[in-house]
Amino acid sequence: MAHILNRGLAIKSLSAKDLADFLDAEYKGSDGITVNMVSPVAIAPENALSFWTSLTVKNQLRQTRAGVLLVPKDFDYNVPAQSLIFVEDPYLALLQVLEEFHKPLVKFSPHKVHGEAQVHKSAVVEGVVQKGAVIGPGCVVSKGAVVGAHSVLEANVCLYDNVHIGENTVLQAGVVVGSRGYGFAGENNSVAVPHYAGVKIGDNVEIGANSVVAAGFITPTVVGDGCKIDTFVQIAHNCVLGKNVFMVSGAGLAGGVCVGDGVEIGGGAKVAGDVYIGNYAKIAALSGVTKNINPQAVVAGFPAQPINQWRRQVVAGRR
């Protein structure tokens, strides 16, 4: 079970020099700085190792508090990180560090089924099932997974390691939570990226049949309290949904999307990676969202735009 910290994933305590030696890389800055976690650059604290990617924006680099930053060899930005380690591919270097030094700080929760829970005889339960929960036929609750009190897993639900389901939550048949996120690295994308950080699903959530919530990479994927997710919905790695979000059948979120409270996403709508959708925004069915959406905005079309503007374009196109 990965140990989830507020801002990242725990690793063995290492100095910048230790990391540079391990990666056979040059470094610049303080060799005395010590890190004990891996964190995204935008939220990394001083005790964190972070990393540059092609998606990293300059504002995040200028404001990062990361103690050590993995950067490409031609990196020439002035950043406040205390130490820089220059590598061929920062993402691959990070994967090497995690593979070698990510050490769980807590053990898996013991296999425990509350006496008042109901577990079908065909289910496989290696995690924790709390009071009043119902586990249907063919379900799998892996080590480190927790099913909260009075929650229901219908037939053939699969919970991977390090998944936490809140209370009074319903997962309909065939739902998968915590599967490895879609990510590949290296030459010819030959390295499948492990996703260590799991999923946290809140209280009073419902997720429709055959929907998927993928595990986060170094911070968890989060579905907030009261969310209502329809069938055949994809929520990719590291998405964060606020409270009371509605997503209709066939909608999909790419990795790292942040959805505010009370957002409504229509059927078949898709949202590109790392986009922010403000509180109480509405996205019409079959829309394609490629950039941030302001709070309370109502958008439609591809690329998504204010719905009244989209309607005028549709009318003009019919003349």
Sign, Cα dihedral of 257, 149, 176, 2:
positive
Sheet containing 26-29: which strands, arranged edge to edge?
Answer: 9-15, 34-38, 48-51, 68-72, 83-87, 26-29
Specify whether 195 is catalytic: no
Task: Determine how many CB atoms are found less than 10 A away from the CB of residue 154.
Answer: 18
Rounded CA-CA distance 208/172 in Å is 5
User: Which residues make Cβ contacts (< 8 Å) with residue 308, sequence separation at least 6?
Assistant: none
Q: Are 224 and 261 in contact (CB under 8 A)?
A: yes
User: Which residues make Cβ contacts (< 8 Å) with residue 18, sequence separation at least 6?
Assistant: none
Which one of the listed residues 102, 150, 164, 237 is annotated catalytic? 237
Q: Please give the DSSP secondary-structure letter assigned to residue 308.
A: H
**What burial class does residue 2 get, using C-beta atoms within 10 Å of its C-beta: 0-12 exposed, 13-18 middle, 19+ buried?**
buried
Rounded CA-CA distance 319/315 in Å is 7
Rounded CA-CA distance 283/295 in Å is 11
Phi, psi of 254 (to 5 degrees): -75, 175
Parallel, antiparallel, or unpaired for β 199-201 and 270-271?
A: unpaired
Sheet containing 176-179: which strands, arranged edge to edge?
Answer: 124-125, 140-141, 158-159, 176-179, 212-214, 234-235, 252-253, 270-271, 288-289
Q: Are 163 and 146 in contact (CB under 8 A)?
A: yes
Residues carrying an active site annotation = 237
